[in-house]
Amino acid sequence: MRKGHFFGLISAVSSTVYVIVNRHVFEEYNSNPFLYIAFVLGAGGLNSIFLLGYRKELISPFKHKKLWMLVVNGLLAGLANGLFIWGQESTTSINAGLLSSSVVITTAIISAIWGLDRYSKLQVFWLCLMFAGIYVSIVGFDSIALNKGDALILIAMPVFGFTNAFAKLLGQKFNAYVIAGLRFIVSGFSTLVFVLGAVWISGGQFLSGPEIFYAYISGSAFFLAILTFYMTVKDIGPNLTIVIQRMALVFVVISGVFLLSETLKILDIIGLSIIIISVIMLNKKAAAPNRRS
**What is the mean pLDDT of the segment spanning 2-6?**
82
Banded pLDDT at 293 (limits 50, 70, 90): very low
On whether the CB atoms of residues 30 and 204 are closer than 8 A, the answer is no
Query: How many residues are present in the chain?
Result: 293
Distance of CA 148 to the CA centre of its chain: 19
**What are the angstrom distances between the C-alpha of 154 and each of 86, 98, 135?**
12, 10, 11
Banded pLDDT at 114 (limits 50, 70, 90): confident
Q: What is the pLDDT of residue 237?
A: 74
Helix 3-28 and helix 33-54, axial crossing angle in degrees, nearest 10: 150
Distance CA 84, CA 80 (A): 6
Q: Which residue has the higher pLDDT, 230 or 180?
A: 180
Question: Amino acid letter at 291?
Answer: R
User: 3-state SS string over the chain?
Assistant: CCHHHHHHHHHHHHHHHHHHHHHHHHHHCCCCHHHHHHHHHHHHHHHHHHHHHHCCCCCHHHHCCCHHHHHHHHHHHHHHHHHHHHHHCCCCHHHHHHHHCCHHHHHHHHHHHCCCCCCCHHHHHHHHHHHHHHHHHHCCCCCCCCCHHHHHHHHHHHHHHHHHHHHHHHCCCCCHHHHHHHHHHHHHHHHHHHHHHHHHHHCCCCCCHHHHHHHHHHHHHHHHHHHHHHHHHHHHCHHHHHHHHCCHHHHHHHHHHHHCCCCCCHHHHHHHHHHHHHHHHHHHHHHHHHHHC
Question: Amino acid letter at 59?
Answer: I
Q: What is the pLDDT of residue 14?
A: 94
Residue 56 CB burial class (10 angstroms; 0-12, 13-18, ≥19): exposed
Asked if residue 130 has pLDDT above 90, the reply is no
- Entry pTM: 0.82
Q: What backbone torsions phi and psi does residue 171 show, to the nearest 5 degrees?
A: -65, -15
On whether the CB atoms of residues 187 and 8 are closer than 8 A, the answer is no
Q: What is the pLDDT of residue 218?
A: 96
Q: Which residue has the higher pLDDT, 84 or 145?
A: 84
Banded pLDDT at 292 (limits 50, 70, 90): very low
Distance CA 206, CA 233 (A): 37
Torsion, Cα 72 75 78 82, to 10 degrees, reads -120
Sign of CA dihedral 235, 236, 240, 244: negative
Q: What is the pLDDT of residue 195?
A: 86
The overall average pLDDT reported for the chain is 84
Q: What is the pLDDT of residue 262?
A: 87
Inter-residue long-range contacts of 65-68, CB under 8 Å, 24+ positions, other chains counted: 66/173, 66/174
